[in-house]
Each structure stands twice: as C-alpha cells, then as structure tokens.
C-alpha cells in the first residue's frame, strides 16, 4: 500500500489519528482540485455537514476520475451515505467546495446534480414494483407526443435499448418490476441513469441482500458502466464485492478520511483491519491514491 508523501525522512511509517488524517488529505485534495487535470470528474474538498450538534462530515475530501470505479467503504456511521447525499444534491454541504469537470458548482437539489450528469441509485432503488420496466426507467421524465400525451412507443423502445446497453436482456418493457430478480431490478435502476446520459453513477449498497448470482449480475453492470466511460462510486460494507471491480478504495471513519488507496496496492484483509482499527479510534497508516 502506498504511504503518504509526508513520510518522515528516516522512512519510518507515519502514524496519525483520524483527526490528523483529515488534515493531511485536505491539503492533497485542495491541490488537486485547483489543478487543470481534465480527467478529474468530481472533486469534493473539505466537506463539512452538521445535523444539529452532530458533526457528520469533518472536512472530507473525495475525488472521482472519468471512467473510474471508486469503492466508498467504512463502518456504520462513517459518513458514507451523508457524503453521497451531498454529492447528489440531497443534502447541502455546510462548508467546503465541490468541483465538477473542473469548475466549482453548488448542488442545492438532486435536480442540480442530475443536470450535471450525476445519478444516484439508492438501496431502495426508487423503483415502483407495480409499474412496468418502461414506466420505471422514464419515471418523472416521460416523453410526450405533440398532443401532450405520454409517448409509450418511445418509452418501450428506448427502455429496451437502455437495458441492452447494460447487457440485460428482458423479454418485454411491459413486464412489472415486481416480477424481476434483485439483480435485474438494480439493472433497471442503473439503465435509467445511463439512458439520461449520466457521467457519474453513485450506487448505494447495490449488492445488499442479493444472492450470489444476483451479485455477479450487478458487478457485471458496474463493469459495463466503466467500459462506457462512466464513473462509478460503489458504496458497500462488503469489501469482497467492491474489490473485484474497483480501481480505488476510499475509507471513511467518524466522518473523516481514513484511507485512499488503489485496489492493486492493498487487499481485503488489510482494509478490513484498517476499518476496524479506525472505527475504534486507533492509529492507522496514512495512505494516498497515486493517480
């Protein structure tokens, strides 16, 4: 695993508590956020979020590059869900900066995020099980005819095209979502994001409560997204799932940055140990990604 650029001159491993880790990461993230690297898609710098007296995010820094799959991990209460809700416009950051495609943006609502090309698939998938596949893919964004009626033919054709682009072959756009498997439902939710030209897809626990076969389907969907040049943030508690598809792993603990490392430079056991130690407040090695 790569160590911090601030390692001491005697080459001893630098150890910091989680509060110090937040500060070190902020310096690196601020420098990258002000760069002109065209590959940086989303950059969040020094993000703070309070809920009353609860300080949920404490200067978190987070970056995603074009076509990159980033695993966002951490124990319960680490701040993962709060961070992605800030990135998706569901919550507004109380402090910090957000950059998208090199320019600073203000995300005041999910509509603002979608307008930039940020789509989020939450654990609940936001699907209506008693509606058809086509109606779910176009929910809230239905095409209309010149008479102002819903254009069902366009919805049927384009929904099947969107599913096919994900490698998901379903028999009919009229099938009810309730008849689909868990993996297929995730595929429909992801296809909806792709159809509306998402540049970044955020997946919140996409493999939770799925069978082994369904997990494999979802991981294949993530690979399809990367092959199409779409960036993915994969939030999960299950390191084994994200390890097979992620280019980089970011770990949060107590609302702070803990680790940011390329997948090839670590392993599941090491990260599991870091998450456990960080959650308990123990010191952990400082790491940084080498992009």
pLDDT one-digit tens code per residue, 214-251: 899 889 999 989 998 999 999 998 899 999 999 999 99
Pair 207, 241: CB distance under 8 Å = yes
What pLDDT score was predicted for residue 16? 34
Closest CA to 47 of 58, 55, 31: 58
What pLDDT score was predicted for residue 249? 96
Give the residue numbers spanning the domain of 132.
67-92+106-269
Structural domain includes residue 279: no
The Cα 252–Cα 78 span in angstroms is 5
Structural domain includes residue 41: no
Structural domain includes residue 177: yes
Using left for φ > 0, alpha for ψ between -120 and 50, and beta otherwise, residue 136 falls in: alpha
pLDDT in tens, the chain (291 residues): 443 333 333 433 333 343 433 333 344 444 444 343 448 999 999 999 999 999 999 999 999 999 999 999 998 889 999 999 999 999 999 999 999 999 999 999 999 999 999 999 887 667 899 999 999 999 888 999 998 899 999 999 999 998 888 788 888 999 999 999 888 888 898 888 888 889 999 999 988 878 888 899 889 999 989 998 999 999 998 899 999 999 999 999 999 999 999 999 999 999 999 888 876 555 455 444 433
What pLDDT score was predicted for residue 61? 97
Structural domain includes residue 51: no
The Cα 96–Cα 71 span in angstroms is 22
What pLDDT score was predicted for residue 280? 58
Per the structure, the count of domains in the chain is 1
Query: pTM of the predicted model, to two decimals?
Result: 0.79
Structural domain includes residue 276: no
What pLDDT score was predicted for residue 181? 87
What pLDDT score was predicted for residue 279? 65
CATH code, 120: 3.40.50.300
What pLDDT score was predicted for residue 281? 56
Structural domain includes residue 52: no
What pLDDT score was predicted for residue 125? 61
Structural domain includes residue 155: yes
Structural domain includes residue 16: no
User: 52: which residues sit within 8 A by CB, 6+ positions away?
Assistant: none
The Cα 34–Cα 36 span in angstroms is 7
């Amino acid at each position: 695993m790569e160590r911090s650029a601030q390692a001491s001159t005697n080459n001893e491993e630098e150890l910091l508590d989680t509060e110090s880790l937040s500060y070190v990461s902020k310096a690196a993230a601020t420098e990258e956020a002000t760069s002109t690297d065209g590959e940086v898609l989303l950059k969040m710098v020094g993000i703070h979020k309070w809920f009353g007296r609860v300080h949920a995010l404490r200067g978190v820094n987070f970056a995603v590059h074009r076509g990159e799959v980033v695993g966002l991990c951490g124990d319960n209460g680490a701040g993962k869900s709060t961070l992605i809700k800030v990135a998706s416009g569901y919550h507004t950051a109380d402090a910090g900066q957000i950059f998208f495609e090199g320019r600073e943006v203000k995300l005041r609502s999910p509509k603002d995020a979608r307008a930039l090309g940020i789509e989020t698939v939450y654990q609940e998938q936001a699907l209506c099980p008693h509606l058809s596949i086509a109606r779910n893919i176009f929910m809230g964004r239905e095409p209309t005819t010149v008479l102002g009626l819903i254009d069902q033919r366009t919805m049927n054709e384009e929904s099947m095209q969107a599913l096919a682009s994900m490698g998901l072959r379903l028999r009919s756009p009229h099938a009810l979502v309730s008849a689909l498997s868990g993996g297929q439902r995730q595929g429909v939710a992801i296809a909806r994001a792709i159809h509306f030209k998402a540049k970044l897809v955020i997946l919140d626990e996409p493999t939770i409560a799925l069978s082994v076969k369904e997990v494999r389907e979802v991981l294949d969907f993530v690979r399809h997204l990367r092959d199409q040049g779409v960036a993915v943030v994969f939030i999960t508690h299950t390191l084994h799932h994200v390890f097979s598809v992620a280019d980089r792993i970011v770990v949060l603990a107590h609302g702070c940055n803990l680790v940011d490392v390329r997948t090839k430079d670590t392993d599941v056991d090491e990260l599991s140990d870091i998450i456990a130690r960080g959650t308990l407040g123990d010191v952990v090695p400082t790491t940084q990604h080498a992009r």
